[in-house]
Amino acid sequence: MGAGSHFLRALTLPFALGTCGLAGSGCIDFVEPDIPELGAPATVQATLRLTDLGTAEVDVYLAPGLDSAGSQRSLTGTPLEALGRAHQADSIRRNGTRRYTKSWLTARDIVSEPILFRAPGIDRVAAAPPALEWVGVRRLGPDTLRLRPGEDLYLPIALGRGAGTPQPAIRQWFLRLSSASGAAGAFGLSADGTPPDTIYVPARWIPRTNELDVRLIFNQSSILRTPPGDYIGVVNVDVRLFWTVHIVGAAATWAGS
């Protein structure tokens, strides 16, 4: 079983799963003020998302801030590195805040690769740029499954490669089962920690429908602050896997029940 899964929650739906899963689930967020204070730490806030559909997204705010003399800090030229690419800012505000928003198509198995992030270098801060190497999660077996009514659902998965450095402060996973037609409602599970090697869904929890859309979200987040603490990073990583489940003979079975 995956390490660190402390407890399981069955969720009544509908609910919406966003970047950090359920609202109030404990993911870390940070908001940088528009007017920086003298000598306040430089800050970077990043959301990284990967899916086994072959998509990658990066959304980063970087606020270099002001040094103790009131001068706006500048970048050293070391770029933002995320998900295997170097990125340049898409916009720069008058206060020096930069935003990086990128999305691209990539290999479907990228969810199993180490998830790497390193913030840009900033002049006049002593701390090294916040950086991490975390693990993703991958599906074992096909993305299309067949069940008969009354059968339980088993979803085998495995953690991807990566050092897990530094360890995320928060790890959570969320599973959503919904009718492909939208007519039969939905059901969800969630737990703290990493997902288990096999996610088990009893038949009684599976919506009565001909076809299910299944989505797993594995979210990791942390505040990165290395001595002397004048460059702070807040990073959320969101990895998503998808399945389609066909319920064989569902209409005939449930029509007589």
Q: How confident is the model at residue 250 (pLDDT cuts 50, 70, 90)?
A: low
Give the β-pairing of 211-225 and 137-139: unpaired
Q: Which residues contact 100 (CB under 8 A, 6 or more apart)?
A: 58, 59, 60, 62, 80, 87, 88, 89, 90
Write b or e for each residue in 147-162: b if 16 or more Cβ atoms lie within 10 A of its Cβ, otherwise e: bebeeebebebbbbeb
> Which tokens go with 1?
């079983």
pLDDT, residue 183, reads: 72
Which amino acid appears at position 3 of this protein?
A: A
- From residue 231, alpha-carbon distances to 70, 171, 226 in Å are 17, 23, 7
In a domain, 119, yes or no: yes
Residue-number span of the structural domain to which 143 is assigned: 8-255
pLDDT, residue 39, reads: 85
pLDDT, residue 119, reads: 98
Q: What is the mean pLDDT of the chain?
A: 87
pLDDT, residue 136, reads: 97
In a domain, 42, yes or no: yes
The answer, yes or no, to whether residue 246 has pLDDT greater than 80, is yes
In a domain, 1, yes or no: no
Q: How confident is the model at residue 109 (pLDDT cuts 50, 70, 90)?
A: very high
> Which tokens go with 104?
């691209």
Q: How confident is the model at residue 155 (pLDDT cuts 50, 70, 90)?
A: very high
pLDDT, residue 20, reads: 54
Q: Is 4 left (phi over 0), alpha (psi -120 to 50) or beta?
A: left
pLDDT for 174-193, tens place per residue?
Answer: 999 999 877 777 899 999 99
In a domain, 217, yes or no: yes
Number of domains in the chain: 1
